[in-house]
Amino acid sequence: MRGIIPNTRSLLRFAPQFPKNRLGLILALCFLPAAVFGRGGTETPEKIVHNSEWRLCVTAFDMSALPENRRIVGEVMTRSLLDAVNAVDRRIRVSREYAYYEGYAWSQARMAAARALAARQEERDLLIYRGEPEWRYRRSLKTIDEAIVKLKEDLAKVEAEAPLVAREPVFQFTEGNTTGTFPAPPGPGGEYRFCQGQKADGFLSGEIIEFHSRLYITIRLYTLYTQSFVYEDDIIFSPDDIQSAVDEIAGRLVAILTGSSPALIAIRAEPEDTLVLINRTFAGRGEIAPREHPPGTVTVSLSAEGHAPQAVETELLPGETTEIEASLRPLELAQVDIDIPGKTGALVYRGAMYVGEAPLTLRLPVNQFDYVHVETPGLETGRMVFRTPNVRDERISLSLKTNISPPAGQKRVDRARRQYYWAWGATWIAGAAAWMSYGLFTTHNDALKTGDILLGKWNDEFYNQTVDWYNISNVSLYVLGAVAAYDIFQLIRYMYISGRDAAPIKR
């Protein structure tokens, strides 16, 4: 203890003071790299939709009648057919099918509500045999009676209101099919139990046999709601025409699986040698006669040499014919001169396609972005992104700079990314240390000002601890500032290294 106890005002003058804005500075440095999260909203309960999926089980096709050398063709046919069916997204339920699933869901809901009510009533009947005190018996009886009233209301509500069944369920294969398992088809009379066992709404079976050096395939579709085969189709084809056979039989099968009639699409394109693709599948050249296609959105891609490609997206409606007419526009070309000053014999690539040696003149479509890449005999590389001229036959010149690429490649980017992550983590640790040291200092400082002073006491050890925490707080703040600056440096370095190999853009 000191010989003279200083007054409060003089003591506060000697006590360490912490800047008022220091806490705000720590918070800003700590939460600078943090992400911003959006607020969630309150969800409104929705009515339960039953049977929102329609599952198909594809059984193993019977190929026992095929010779060994033909079975591989049969397997290819089966896989191609499955890939085509996999394009089905949803199924439209007709009235009969909807009524079947509605009745099934209604029956299940009534059964569940009735079982819950019966269980409560049985619990009420057995309540007297528990031997509980009268006050507890009456309380339990009241609780069960209230629950029985509620369950009766629920049962009445279920009986009065039909459940909601999805009218356009999502089409899916069974879990076994998705993992590559195709069970053997059921025998006659076991179709319904087979669907229940596979948890499927229907199954597809087929048989492939050889017929005079050709292949003959028969497929049959069984549905649970009709409890019968609703579709049967067959086709004969040569092994070289597998794709055409798949397209023909898949179009009719997909129409059945989607619950709608097939659509027709006809295409007339100019020039006559225009390549026509429907959903990335070759359809022909020039004029395409009306052909069946599953309803839905399709993309028709048209391309011809010397003409601008064109893509047409349209909606095909069940039972209707959609006609598409298109005339491709001839390309307007401009000239682009490519040169590497001081270098000869450099290989020039447009994208990934080799186009010649520099100096080189390319004729490219006007007003579009393009990309060139060059490699010199000395293993130097250069690249550039540019826009071609806006006017036909206009000429621009590109002068590319080349240099030797860093040998480390992607490892440089990985190393810079790791260093930035370490710096980012160190910033958080330093921020937490600065926050805790500041909290300990303020706690000591407040106790020093309001505790010992009011009691007229002076504790040298406690005062020295307060000064120590003040110094530690200052040091931790300086460390936080240094680590945050290092973090920013590593971020800038990482962004520079990751974008160093990016191709320059000609303005």
Q: What is the spatial distance between Cα 5 and Cα 203, in angstroms, rounded to a whole number? A: 96
Asked if the bond preceding 186 is cis, omega within 30° of 0, the reply is: no
Task: Give pLDDT tens digits for 66-104.
Answer: 887 777 877 777 777 788 788 788 887 766 777 777 776
Its pTM surpasses 0.85: no
Q: What is the mean pLDDT of the chain?
A: 78
pLDDT mean over 13-35:
47
pLDDT for res 453:
52
The reply to whether 197 and 248 lie within a common domain is yes
Predicted local distance difference test score (pLDDT) of residue 407: 54
What dihedral angle (degrees, nearest 10) is formed by the CA atoms of 481, 483, 486, 490?
-130
Q: Is the pLDDT of residue 150 over 50?
A: yes
Cβ–Cβ under 8 Å, residues 294 and 315: no
| 102 three-class SS | helix
Strand pairing category for 49-50 and 164-165: parallel
Q: 301 falls in which pLDDT band (50, 70, 90)?
A: very high
The model's pLDDT over 204-213, given as tens digits with 9 standing for 90+, comes to: 998 888 888 7
Both 184 and 65 in one domain: the answer is yes
Q: How many domains does the chain have?
A: 5
pLDDT above 70 covers what percent of the chain?
Answer: 83
349 domain-assigned: yes
Domain-ending residue, one of 354, 372, 399: 399
Which pLDDT score, from 0 to 100, does residue 269 have?
Answer: 92
The answer to whether residues 440 and 470 touch, using CB atoms and an 8 Å cutoff, is: no
The mean-pLDDT minimum among 48-57, 454-463, 467-476 falls in 454-463
Higher-confidence residue of 18 and 327: namely 327
Beta bridge partners of 232: 220
Q: What is the pLDDT of residue 35?
A: 38
**Same domain assignment for residues 417 and 465:** yes
Residue after which a domain boundary falls, among 297, 327, 357: 327
The structure tokens listed for 206 are: 């087929």
Which residue's structure tokens are 């026992």? Answer: 64
Per DSSP, what are the bridge partners of residue 326? 269
- List C-alpha distances in Å: 107 to 103, 163, 168, 192, 198: 6, 10, 21, 19, 21
65 with 161, same domain: the answer is no
32 found inside a domain? no
Distance CA(495)–CA(507), nearest Å, equals 22
Are 321 and 299 a contacting pair, CB within 8 Å?
no
Q: Which token pair is 445?
A: 């400082």
CATH number reported for the structural domain that contains residue 248 in this entry: 3.40.50.10070
334 band by pLDDT with thresholds 50, 70 and 90: confident
Distance CA(293)–CA(283), nearest Å, equals 11
Chosen domain end from 165, 188, 223: 165
Same domain, 179 and 272: no
Instruction: Identify the CATH number of the domain in which residue 378 sits.
Output: 2.60.40
Higher per-residue confidence, 333 vs 408 = 333
List CB contacts of 403: < 8 A, sequence separation 6 or more.
380, 381, 382
Residues 52-61, mean pLDDT to the nearest whole number: 88
- Token code pair at residue 334: 């401009």
Q: Are residues 373 and 349 in the same domain?
A: yes
pLDDT per residue over 95-132, tens digit each?
A: 677 777 777 677 777 788 888 888 888 888 887 777 77
Burial class (CB in 10 A: 0-12, 13-18, 19+), 282: exposed
Read off the pLDDT of residues 267-298 as tens digits, 9 standing for 90 and up: 999 999 999 998 877 888 989 898 877 667 78
- For residues 493 and 426, membership in a common domain is answered with yes
pLDDT confidence of residue 369: 86
Residues 388 and 346 in one domain: yes
Is 189 a member of any domain?
Answer: yes
Say if residue 377 is in the same domain as residue 416. no
Confidence of residue 505 (pLDDT cuts 50, 70, 90): low
CATH number of the domain within which 292 lies: 2.60.40.1120
Instruction: List the single range of 80-89, 142-151, 381-390 with lowest mean pLDDT.
Output: 80-89
Q: How confident is the model at residue 372 (pLDDT cuts 50, 70, 90)?
A: confident
Residue 40 covered by a domain: no
Domain that residue 233 falls in: 53-92+169-258
Question: What DSSP assignment string belongs to 394-442?
Answer: -EEEEE---BPPPTTTHHHHHHHHHHHHHHHHHHHHHHHHHHHHHHHHH
CA distance 440 to 159: 67
Q: Is residue 180 part of a domain?
A: yes
Average pLDDT over residues 251-264: 76
Asked if 317 and 349 sit in the same domain, the reply is no
DSSP assignment of 181-223 equals: --PPPPPTT-HHHHHHHHT-SEEEEEEEEEETTEEEEEEEEEE
| Residue 321 placed within a domain | yes
Give 275's strand partners: 285, 303
Question: Are the C-beta atoms of 340 and 364 separated by less than 8 Å?
Answer: no
Domain annotation covers residue 26: no
Higher pLDDT, 95 or 181: 181
Residues 72 and 178 in one domain: yes
Q: Say if 117 falls within a structural domain.
A: yes
282 and 158 share a domain? no
CB atoms closer than 10 angstroms to residue 456: 8
d(CA 323, CA 264): 8
Q: What are phi and psi of 112, to 5 degrees?
A: -65, -40
